[in-house]
Amino acid sequence: MAKNVSDKHGFKGVETISSSSSCQSSSSPRSSPYVHEVGVPLKQNLLKEIAAAVKETLFADDPLRHFKDQPSSKKFILGLQAIFPILEWGKHYNLSKFKGDLIAGLTIASLCIPQEPQYGLYSSFVPPLVYAFMGSSRDIAIGPVAVVSLLLGSLLQDEIDSSANPVGYRHLAFTATFFAGLTQFILGFFRLGFLIDFLSHAAIVGFMGGTAVTIALQQLKGLLGIKKFTKDTDIVSVMSSVFSSARHGWNWHTILIGISFLIFLSVTKYIGKKQKKFFWVPAIAPLISVIISTVTVYATRADKHGVEIVKNIRKGINPPSVKEIFFSGQYAGKGFKIGVVSGMIALTEAVAIGRTFASMKDYQLDGNKEMIALGTMNIVGSMTSCYVATGSFSRSAVNYMSGCETAVSNIVMACVVLLTLALITPLFEYTPNAILASIIISAVVGLVDIEAVTLIWKIDKFDFIACMGAFFGVVFSSVEVGLVIAVSISFAKILLQVTRPRTAILGKVPRTATVYRNIQQYPDATKVSGILIVRVDSAIYFSNSNYVKERILRWLADEEEHVKENSQPRFQYLIIEMGPVTDIDTSGIHALEELFRALQKRDIKLVFANPGPVVVDKLHASKFQELIGEGRILLTVADAVRICYSKMELEP
């Protein structure tokens, strides 16, 4: 049986009660979603809703739950463990885990061959140590990454020429690293990590692909032995510089070294890809290439024949660099701009890598803690002669496959780098620049993900536009332009979805009594004679309220034309399914009032089904129910159809 029920606002609904559950159904008025606490002012409810929204946005994981009902001493210990997770998992560390971490650490240490050896090795020593104590990922391998390093290098080069002013260039690099770390720390401390989600996956794929192409093209200078090379990064300028120097600027000794080892690295990557058990082959290949090429150049004295070598690698651990950071002046602002861009890219990559491996090993990763750890290590790094470090996907994959158990693998790697800096750094002075160029080209080629681009095209054409916009922006202009295009297109997609929400006409699914679904999704669903049912799939705000009103009226006009052509009864009721409408503002209510008046002129009654409690409260506060009349807000679409159909004036 069925009976009408009303809540305190005067909104009526229908409650279906079977003989077996009548006692339970009638026991409490709270069974209606529209019933609220009696005597609680609307303002107090609103404050609760705002507080709940803030908590859901910034504190959804309830980070202080472990501190509840704990004594002060326990809270202090938990606080230290929250800042330094190693204090928590370190209690359960054992020799078995250390064996896996030792092998993994030694393996990833062999991959610490950066573009700029001196400061690259510095950045492979301090940041991994800091992260090991503060990070929450068990698998991520910390250090300089080709994409971030080259991105940082190109942005720095635009401001200060590294050849003409190496000291200023170095100071600006430390400044940018400091602000990159500060950006990451602030995002984590204030729990604003969700901001990096504005860079969509498609935009990142395009941006990384474009950056990979740009980086690879810039390495042609070292690969071909070109001395006079353009400072611009766009493909037109780079290729013009390459071909203009082809006759007299190329060095065949350098080309022979670079191409030979590029082929070697490509072959090892192919072997590792085809035979998973040989994953260590491409992992160790860069170190082998450096050793062989260095010995070859030293033995043949190829540097006397125009082969550029690294030179001047200082022995010793990281010198302090606090005094070299620009905290004021024009370069402070430039360092801030470069730091924010490189810090966000580094953060996006590290968090994505951490989440990937956390899901593979089935453990939780606290994104905000990760940001604080990454930010702290880069702030400390900027004060110890390091540039921006982050998580490397390739090294993290090797770390994972080598059997790492905890972040101790980063400590092992840092110790190996320490020994390298203290003892054997001078041996790399004869390393040819060509081999570093070939290593970087081999590394970044994999960042052009054709399969991902193809999948993006198949799934979402707008995402494909964002992907290609970011790619061509980087390739034909600059990294900054590509980043701006990527963010702009991502925001444009968000705005389009917000301002143009989906709406649908619902029909009753065959062989069901109360199920109403989108007729385009369910072609067999049948419309109800004389009643048009429309569902709005979004909150109704000032940005989309007029569109929602106009779209509903267009649906109505189209359907009226259809029923007129088929000599069917005219529409007497318009039911709006409000279940997906999570919220509504004053502009949205105003649009509904205009819709009501437009329907009045057509002698069509407006009915709402299944609005949420937030929407109901706001409709009540605006006295909207007094405008449309009593009994026009119902619990379900089925209830609304049944009541409307029983009251319809059926035409002959």
What is the mean predicted confidence (pLDDT) over 587-613? 94
Distance CA 552, CA 283 (A): 59
pLDDT digits (tens, 9 = 90+) for 230-288: 877 789 988 998 998 887 778 888 999 999 999 998 999 889 888 877 777 887 788 78
What is the mean predicted confidence (pLDDT) over 194-203? 73
92-96, 329-333, 584-588, range with greatest mean pLDDT: 584-588
pLDDT digits (tens, 9 = 90+) for 165-175: 989 999 999 99
Q: DSSP string spanning 166-187?
A: HHHHHHHHHHHHHHHHHHHHHH
Burial of 174 (0-12, 13-18, 19+ CB in 10 A): buried
pLDDT of residue 482: 81
Helix/strand/coil for 140? coil
A 10 A CB-CB count for 585 gives: 15
Place of tokens 């809703």: 49
Distance CA 580, CA 565 (A): 32
Question: Does residue 386 surpass a pLDDT of 50?
Answer: yes
Distance CA 319, CA 479 (A): 31
Report the phi/psi class of residue 511: left, alpha or beta, with left for phi > 0 and alpha for psi in -120 to 50. Answer: left
Burial of 521 (0-12, 13-18, 19+ CB in 10 A): exposed
pLDDT of residue 58: 61
Question: Does residue 393 surpass a pLDDT of 80?
Answer: no
What is the mean predicted confidence (pLDDT) over 58-62? 62
Report the phi/psi class of residue 152: left, alpha or beta, with left for phi > 0 and alpha for psi in -120 to 50. Answer: alpha
SS (H, E, C) 403-422: CCCCCHHHHHHHHHHHHHHH
| Start-to-end C-alpha separation, the chain | 30
Instruction: Write down the mean pLDDT value for the chain.
Output: 83
What is the mean predicted confidence (pLDDT) over 409-419? 92
| Amino acid letter for position 372 | I
pLDDT of residue 485: 85
- Compute CA 506 distance to the chain's CA centroid, rounded to the nearest angstrom: 35
Q: Tell me if 283 sits within 8 A of 269, measured CB to CB.
A: no
pLDDT of residue 486: 79
- Compute CA 645 distance to the chain's CA centroid, rounded to the nearest angstrom: 49
Domain regions of the chain by residue span:
47-83, 95-450, 501-650
Distance CA 219, CA 146 (A): 12
Confidence of residue 110 (pLDDT cuts 50, 70, 90): low
pLDDT of residue 558: 93
Lowest mean pLDDT among 12-26, 120-134, 555-569: 12-26
14-18, 96-100, 150-154, range with greatest mean pLDDT: 96-100
Helix/strand/coil for 354? helix
pLDDT of residue 115: 46
Question: Does residue 496 surpass a pLDDT of 80?
Answer: yes
> b/e string for 386-417 if b means 16 or more Cβ within 10 A?
bbbbbbbbbbbbbbbbbebbbbbbbbbbbbbb
CA torsion sign for 325, 329, 333, 338 is negative
pLDDT of residue 484: 81
Q: Tell me if 21 sits within 8 A of 48, measured CB to CB.
A: no
pLDDT of residue 55: 63
Confidence of residue 648 (pLDDT cuts 50, 70, 90): confident
pLDDT digits (tens, 9 = 90+) for 136-167: 898 899 998 867 887 788 789 888 888 789 89
% of the chain with per-residue pLDDT over 70: 87
pLDDT digits (tens, 9 = 90+) for 19-41: 333 333 333 333 344 434 444 45
Question: Does residue 523 surpass a pLDDT of 60?
Answer: yes
Q: Is the pTM of this model over 0.75?
A: no
Question: Does residue 13 surpass a pLDDT of 90?
Answer: no
Helix or strand run (H / E) with residue 491: helix 479-499
Question: Does residue 2 surpass a pLDDT of 60?
Answer: no
pLDDT of residue 6: 45
In the beta sheet, which residues pair with residue 507? 517
Confidence of residue 507 (pLDDT cuts 50, 70, 90): very high
pLDDT digits (tens, 9 = 90+) for 336-383: 999 998 998 888 878 877 877 787 788 878 888 899 999 999 999 999
pLDDT of residue 474: 86
Rg (C-alpha) for the chain, rounded Å, is 32
Confidence of residue 510 (pLDDT cuts 50, 70, 90): very high
Q: Tell me if 469 sits within 8 A of 486, measured CB to CB.
A: yes
Helix spans in 190-278 (H): 201-218, 220-224, 235-244, 252-274
CATH number for the domain formed by residue range(s) 501-650? 3.30.750.24
Burial of 579 (0-12, 13-18, 19+ CB in 10 A): middle
Q: Tell me if 109 sits within 8 A of 412, measured CB to CB.
A: yes
Strands (E) in 460-523, as ranges, are 503-508, 516-518
Higher pLDDT, 401 or 327: 327
Cα–Cα nearest to 518, from 491, 537, 499, 546: 537
Question: Does residue 427 surpass a pLDDT of 90?
Answer: no
